[in-house]
Amino acid sequence: MRSLLHRMNPSVKFVLITVCMFTMAFFFDPVTPLLFWAGVLLMQILFSQTDWKKWLFFMIPFFIMAFGYFWTTLVFAKETVGPIIWSIRSVHVTELQLHHALSLSFRVLAFSSLSLLFALTTNPVTFILSLMQQLKLSPKIAYGILVGFQFLPVIKDEFIQIQQAQRLRGIVQKKNTLQRLLDTRLVLIPLLAGAVRKAERSAFAMEARGFTGERRGGFFHEILVDKVDAFLGVLFLFVLVLSCTNSFWLG
């Protein structure tokens, strides 16, 4: 059985997450993003079937980024205003610097956790279909994205085939990392040419089947907004309001 966050309408989830991110950008204290991050993690624990090993793996770059923001804000601050709480040689850390460093770090973690929550609990095809139905995305754009998404596994297989064909022709992959990156152009050019041919054939096939890009009255697979969306929507907003209220209490 799918979890509540997996069953939630993708468009509703997308709008709520966008509103949360936009709102959190206006709060500069460290406690508000920390509380919001804790609320997001709690919702993920209660209402999703997240593989936490996968979640931690995806969060590693964001933990590194948060630590980078924290360290650089402390060490490379242009001004040291206020009482100094820690110093070593020429580096002086004030209470205001620590405040800004923690605020940036927790904001990175909150935003990245929200993004991962959406990515791990949303089916891409259902998301595109819901964008057409709820947010009125143009069918031309929507079906173009769906066709491209369906071709991703094929492109991956072609990438491997091109590499194998080049090895048979004596093109040996370099050991140096920089040379490997430079040699990717030998694979990307035929891969791009193959992608253009596939796009052209797909366009002809869709046109032959009567696809004009016009919006029609109904959908074979309807994505509805139901009680689950209302419940989780209220919960998202409650976590957001509770976190932001803390900012006003702190002044």
User: For residue 202, what pLDDT band results from cuts at 50, 70 and 90?
Assistant: confident
Task: Give the pLDDT confidence of 41-86 residue by residue, as tens digits.
Answer: 999 988 988 888 989 999 999 999 999 988 888 877 665 555 666 6
According to the model, what pLDDT value does residue 211 have? 66
Task: Give the pLDDT confidence of 139-179 residue by residue, as tens digits.
Answer: 778 877 887 777 777 777 887 787 777 777 776 666 666 66
Residue 173 DSSP symbol = P
Q: The tokens of 104 are what?
A: 């940036």
Task: Give the pLDDT confidence of 227-243 residue by residue, as tens digits.
Answer: 989 999 999 999 999 88
Asked if 23 and 92 count as a contact pair (C-beta separation under 8 A), the reply is no
Radius of gyration for the chain, computed over Cα atoms and rounded to the nearest angstrom:
24
Query: Does the pLDDT of residue 251 top 60, yes or no?
Result: no
Ranges of each domain in the chain:
4-123+225-250, 139-208
Q: The tokens of 2 are what?
A: 């799918």
Residue 29: which H helix or E strand, with range?
none
Closest CA to 115 of 68, 75, 167, 55: 55
